[in-house]
Amino acid sequence: MSMTEMGQRQGSGWRQTVQTVGSHLAGMIMPNIGAIIAWGLLTALFIPTGWWPDKDLAVMVDPMLKYLIPLLVAYTGGRMVHGQRGAVVGAAATIGVIVGADIPMILGAMVMGPLAAYGQKKLDELTEHLKRPGFEMLIDNFSLGILGAVLAIAGYRGVGPVVSAASTAAGHGVDFLVDRSLLPLVSLFVEPGKVLFLNNAINHGVITPLATTEVSEAGKSILFMVETNPGPGLGVLIAFMLFGPRSMRPSVPGAVVIHFLGGIHEIYFPYILMKPKLIVGAIAGGASGLLTAIAVGAGLVATPAPGSIVAYLAVTPRGGHLGVLAAVLVATLVSFAVSSVLLGFGHGSNDLVDDPDADSAASGPATGPASGPVSAGSASRRPTTPGA
């Protein structure tokens, strides 16, 4: 069964759930990427091993990571659940988790922010009936203030240590994978997950919190390169440009620019969904890129978002550019080579449905109940119009 079919048929409910959960997790991080990059730049510039070591300016680095970023995440997570009041109570409650742990509590903020906001939402429903005219502001402010204070204490005593232990365990797990050069195996899950539009969930929902913690200890993290390497997608696109179905080739150069320079990886997902076997090329590229990064000790100081080569070079620590470029280059070459073989170097690729996998997805009743009676021409291959 091809990936397209899996996505559209049996996997649809599962996929939708994972996408929704993942987009909530990613949604707490993504609006704050700018702040994470600001912190990454300050770190890369002013820490003792940075470009312009400066003890005075470097004092900003630690509080920014320990307080600002988790509080922004908690605020955003709270806002998603219960608007402005959820945002405020989420941030207030999260301070307990932050001071209760000795590592940056981004994960703790992702738990505490929405949780506190949910509590506030319930509390607001409860107090709705108690409000006498003129007392709304008093009740609103003090219900939030009291809940925020209580949850801050609970976070300090209870949640902080637990999340702290979980973060540490996850960190050890990552160390284990890196030390034994097993990290490339995660490409087996990451690359297919990406093209099923779980890219943000994986990168920002899971990897960014872990990797940011690692940077605070090691000065850089290879984890930032797991999902963001533009190499695998670039390799697939170039193979598609040279050996893909002829009618598709003209659209690829523009996609290459948007992907590699603009960093919008989504642009290459449809090409893989169209020729699902190309996922093997992306996995091979991703894995070999990570293997290269481990071998040369490459890492980044902040999340390169969007995953453009420009963003990559901007968040590379001093002295790390050759290693990072090597990881991108190797990933591109391997992905290109494998994808080219899979496309048979262009033989018999004159029309779109030459591929048995893609063919079964397109011609069978594969679009099924999941995607419904889609009227626009995209789900089927016919260039039909959306009802026009």
Are 282 and 387 in contact, with CB atoms under 8 Å apart?
no
Nearest CA to 22 among 227, 202, 225?
202
| Residue 26: burial class (beta carbons within 10 Å; 0-12, 13-18, 19+) | buried
| DSSP type of residue 131 | P
326 versus 379: smaller Cβ distance to other proteins = 379
Q: Pick out residues in 184-223 that bind other proteins (CB under 8 A).
A: 196-197, 199-201
Q: Is 313 in the site for other proteins (CB under 8 A)?
A: no
- 58-86 burial code (b ≥16 CB/10 A, e <16): beebeebbbbbbbbbbbbbbbbbbbeebb
Binding residue for other proteins, selected from 1, 14, 16, 175, defined by CB under 8 A: 16
Quick one: 365 or 386, whose CB is closer to other proteins?
Answer: 386
Contact 194/201 with Cβ under 8 angstroms? no
Per-position x/- string for 28-47, each x denoting binding to other proteins as judged by CB under 8 A, each - no binding: --xx----------------
Q: Which of 123, 258, 293, 301 binds other proteins (CB under 8 A)?
A: 258
Q: Helices H, strands E: what count in the chain?
A: 21, 0
**Residue count, binding to other proteins (CB under 8 A):** 46
Residue 238-257 contact track with other proteins, rule CB under 8 A, x = bound: -------------x--xx--
Cα 242 to Cα 345: distance, rounded to the nearest angstrom? 8
Q: What is the CA radius of gyration of the chain?
A: 24
Name the residue type at position 301.
V
Q: How far is the CB of 300 from other proteins (least distance, A)?
A: 19
Q: Is 273 in the site for other proteins (CB under 8 A)?
A: yes
Is 378 one of the binding residues for other proteins (CB under 8 A)? yes
Question: Among 41, 264, 296, 353, which residue interacts with other proteins (rule: CB under 8 A)?
Answer: 264
CA atoms within 13 A on the CB side of 165: 4
User: What is the nearest approach in angstroms of other proteins to the Cβ of residue 55?
Assistant: 36
Q: Does 379 bind other proteins (CB under 8 A)?
A: yes
Distance of closest approach, residue 29 Cβ to other proteins, in angstroms: 10
User: What's 61-101 look like in SS3?
Assistant: HHHHHHHHHHHHHHHHHHHHHHHHHHHHHHHHHHHHHHHCC
- Among 6, 25, 26, 280, indicate the residue that binds other proteins (CB under 8 A): 26
Q: Which is nearer to other proteins, 48 or 386 (CB)?
A: 386
Q: Which stretch binds other proteins (CB under 8 A): 58-66, 98-106, 153-161, 268-276?
A: 268-276
Residues making contact with other proteins (CB under 8 A): 7, 12, 16, 19-20, 23-24, 26-27, 30-31, 196-197, 199-201, 251, 254-255, 258, 262-264, 266-267, 269-270, 273-274, 306, 370-379, 383-388
